[in-house]
Amino acid sequence: MYPADHTARPDHAAHTASTAHSDDRVQFLVVGDETSLTELEAELALLPLCARGRVFVEVGESAEIVALAAPIRMTVTWLVRSERSGRPGTAQRCGHGDAVTRAVQAWTAEMLCDGPGRTRAIVTGSWTLTTEVGEHLVEVVGMEPDAVSLPSDSR
């Protein structure tokens, strides 16, 4: 039973820190832009209801954000180019694919699983976006090419 002040039991934190937790579930990374919203919706509809992971969608303006049905354990993040800067240290505006590429780079640095569950990526969108994200996932991060789904003309 937990104390009345709802603090966790002290032995639970010690147990969690010292116990190996294996998770064999696949996590998903789904990426797209305003040119691929229909394809993105179709890909999300094909995922299992219990799928978990992250969805990054880049759009030019906030008016392009639409309701997007995704499994409940998937976090959807909209990246609006008009509200973001371009390359750090420059006065450039955010170019097509820049925001989602930066988001994928940050996410993979922190969240990429390499255990039995692994990560599967589904990348949709413009040629530039899919090429940059695909190259990052396979060549920089080291994901297996068969774990990254790209449009056929991006490989």
Alpha-helix runs per DSSP H in 47-151: 98-111, 127-135
In a domain, residue 11? The reply is no
Q: Domain range spanning residue 147?
A: 24-154
In a domain, residue 93? The reply is yes
**Cα distances (Å, whole numbers) of residue 61 to 44, 56, 94:** 22, 15, 12
DSSP 81: G
Q: How confident is the model at residue 115 (pLDDT cuts 50, 70, 90)?
A: low
In a domain, residue 44? The reply is yes
Q: What is the pLDDT of residue 112?
A: 79
Nearest Cα to Cα of residue 101 among 134, 68, 65: 134
In a domain, residue 10? The reply is no
In a domain, residue 4? The reply is no
Reported as a single tens digit per residue, the pLDDT across 42-98 is 999 999 999 999 999 999 999 999 999 999 999 999 999 988 877 767 767 888 888
Q: Let me know if 151 is exposed, middle or buried by CB neighbors in 10 A (0-12, 13-18, 19+).
A: middle
CB 105 within 8 Å of CB 136? yes
Task: Give me the number of domains the chain comprises.
Answer: 1
Q: What is the pLDDT of residue 25?
A: 74
* Percent of the chain surpassing pLDDT 70: 76
In a domain, residue 3? The reply is no
Nearest Cα to Cα of residue 55 among 40, 42, 67, 66: 40
Q: What is the mean pLDDT of the chain?
A: 82
* Rounded Cα distance, 78 and 100, in Å: 9
CATH number, domain of 67, equals 3.40.50.80
Q: What is the pLDDT of residue 17?
A: 42
In a domain, residue 137? The reply is yes
* Percent of the chain surpassing pLDDT 90: 61
